Amino acid sequence: MKTHTRLSALLLSGLVATVLGVPVFVATAPVLARAELAAATEVAVDAPITAVTLYRGRAMVTRTGVLPDGQGSFEVRISGLPASIESGSLSARVTGAKVLDVRYSETLLETDAATSTDLRGATKALEEARRTAAKQEMQSRMINEQSDLLNAISAKTAAEVGKDFGSKNLDPAALSAQIKFLSQSREEIITQRLALDTARAATNDQIKSLEAKIRALGGRTKTAREAIVTVGKSQAGTATLALNYLVADAAWAPRYAVRATDAGDDALDLVTIELNAEISQRTGEEWKDIALTLSTAEPGRRPAPPEVKPEFLAVAEPVVAGETVRASARRPSSPGGGGYGGIGTGGIIGDPGTDPGSINTGRMYDLAYADAEAVGGAIVNYTIPRKVTIPTDDSRTRSQRVASFDLKPEFTHVVHPIADPTVYLRAKARNTTGTQLVAGEARLFVGDDSVGMADFPEVAPGGELTLWLGGDARYEARRMLVEKDAREQGVFGKDDVTAWKWRIDITSGAKGSTQLEVIDRVPVSRDEKIKIELKDLSTPLSTDAKYLADDRPRGILRWSFAMPGIGKDGKPSTKSISWTVRQSVPAGMRIVPAAE
């Protein structure tokens, strides 16, 4: 090995090698520093965890240590790496020196249980718990067999009763006693089953706990895992080493709290979105006083798109008896349908919404309460602005505050009385935070009241965001059929003409006025023989351009207006909307639903 290293150094130093006097190689690389060629000095370095970047299903851990002050080549060993490490991800960087090599090492060490009272006790308890689990498994099988036997007796009894029913052979007293016996036996089996299931669950929990304890104590055999970093220092002085590696068994998921509040005048004017991270940490390492970054990146994701292969079509040849088809026609897959979905689409929380509103973000805190700094475009990194401690724990997760945004959205009350008479509160906003809002679960609040759970959508910078905040009991809506008229009309050709007059009554018990949106529908004809007319609108439909272009042709009716609040007399305000739908079809024609 030393000869090989020396030869490589000579070649790299610019010497000319010759074969039979003919020059075959001329190197122009600079001479390596003598410190890099010297035998490396082995040294153990204490490198505690200083930073963690936590992804959705793993984490990048950074350990930092100080190198020896002297000049030369050092083989730095960093021990205590966890079993969850992905050894192929190991990398290192140094300041004030040069990294020559990085490698990973595992050594299996025997653990002497006799010298560890805790390990010996945990091992003995685990063996006893496993014996208990085996006994409980046999008891479970015995109960199943008893249940099968009772079912067989019950079936035989039923068959015998059916055979003897109405005859003198039937003994009612014996039958009653047998039914009572079967009933009592089943009750006993059910009681035994419930008690056994509870005991088995407790035993399984005990086994898991003891197994985790034995692993934490090193197990019956212990694996020593370490990183070996070869470093060259051309001059004396301070140098630092940062070791990076990926670990499994760590993850975070976004969790939101969305709070709508008012300024004290019973009118909602503010929505606060609180982003928290639900963190699970089961790596086997203690993360103490670390710099934490939460990332939406996917380290295991492919770095380039998959190859798009060409597709070829051929005309299918006729099938002749006794032969197989040599070529078959193939139809390329159709692109997915799309377009504006109207009701039922949009980037929303809790229910659909479409139109953008406005958003104002930002609220500064002292460092102890500061929001995480979100950086990135398609990938978002939230850097927590304070040191955190997250112990490894198999049994629980923890919540970490990430960021908070104050929004000034547009509030609207929305009702779809044809489907649900509840009047719902909607807040519309646009993501002007300059960063991606990641998808996650959200708990919704109006004031101090929790109004349910919903899915928070992925919202790109500048994207639209709709927050649904539950029903508002201060409002009532009622839809009713006022009148139906059916008759036959026509001179030369008869038509069946039906007219429906509908009305929606809305009541508001709120103190002030609010914007109200009402959604209904009329049928849309897919055949020229079916004529549909919308007549006698008491309130004009919305003039929103997007609605008129996308939803109105689909038969969706939308009204938008200011709904007044309680009057000076203290009585709720009311508003009625009415319209008539007139349908005309040739007499006797049967109408069926059609696809959109």
- Within this chain, do residues 434 and 447 fall inside the same structural domain, yes or no? yes
pLDDT in tens, 64-77: 999 988 888 999 99
pLDDT band of residue 301 (cuts 50, 70, 90) is low
Same domain, 208 and 71: no
Measure the CA–CA gap between 473 and 508, rounded to whole angstroms. 9
Handedness of CA 550, 553, 555, 557 (dihedral sign): positive
Domain boundary among 471, 493, 524: 471
Structure confidence by residue, pLDDT tens digits, 165-218: 656 666 777 778 888 888 888 899 999 999 999 999 999 999 988 888 877 776
Residue 269: inside a domain: yes
| Domain assignment present for 312 | no
Whether 84 maps to a domain, the answer reads: yes
Instruction: Give the per-residue pLDDT at 23.
Output: 40
Which phi and psi (to 5°) does residue 390 adopt?
Answer: -130, 100
**Strand, helix or coil for residue 179:** helix
Instruction: Tell me the CA distances in angstroms from 575 to 273, 291, 415, 561, one per residue in order.
Output: 33, 57, 13, 10
Question: 482 and 437, same structural domain?
Answer: no
514/445 same-domain check? no
Residue 52 lies in a domain: yes
Q: Of 51-55, 86-90, 287-291, which range is least confident?
A: 86-90
Is position 320 within any domain?
no
CB-CB contact of 480 with 521 (8 Å): no
Integer Rg of the chain from CA: 38
- Reported residue count of the chain is 596
Give the whole-number percent of the chain exceeding pLDDT 70: 77
How high does pLDDT run on average in the chain?
A: 79
Quickly state the pLDDT bin for 341 (edges 50, 70, 90). very low
Give the domain-ending residue among 437, 471, 505.
471
Residue 80 structural domain: 33-111+221-247
DSSP string, 100-151: EEEEEEEEEEE--GGG-HHHHHHHHHHHHHHHHHHHHHHHHHHHHHHHHHHH
Last residue in a domain, options 471, 488, 515 = 471
CA–CA gap between residue 394 and residue 204 (Å, rounded): 15
> Averaging pLDDT over each range in 286-300, 305-319, 410-424, which range is the top one?
410-424
Average pLDDT over residues 284-304: 84
The helix or strand, by DSSP H or E, that contains position 252, with its residue range, turns out to be: strand 250-262
- Do residue 429 and residue 352 come from a single domain? yes
The amino acid sitting at 297 is A
For residue 513, being part of any structural domain is answered with: yes
In terms of domains, do 53 and 192 share one? no
Region of 264 (left: φ > 0; alpha: ψ -120 to 50; beta: rest) is left
Q: Do 153 and 72 have their domain in common?
A: no
- Claim to verify: residue 130 and residue 225 sit in the same structural domain: no
Domain total for the chain? 5
263 and 397 together in one domain: yes
Does the pLDDT value for residue 333 go beyond 60?
A: no
CB neighbour class for 245 (10 Å; exposed up to 12, middle 13-18, buried from 19): buried
**Those residues with Cβ within 8 angstroms of residue 553's Cβ, 6 or more apart along the chain or in another chain:** 524
Task: Report if residue 337 sits inside a domain.
Answer: no
Could you tell me if 93 and 231 lie in one domain? yes
Give me the mean pLDDT over the 388-404 stretch: 88
In a domain, 331, yes or no: no
Q: Does residue 68 share a domain with residue 135?
A: no
Same domain, 197 and 279: no
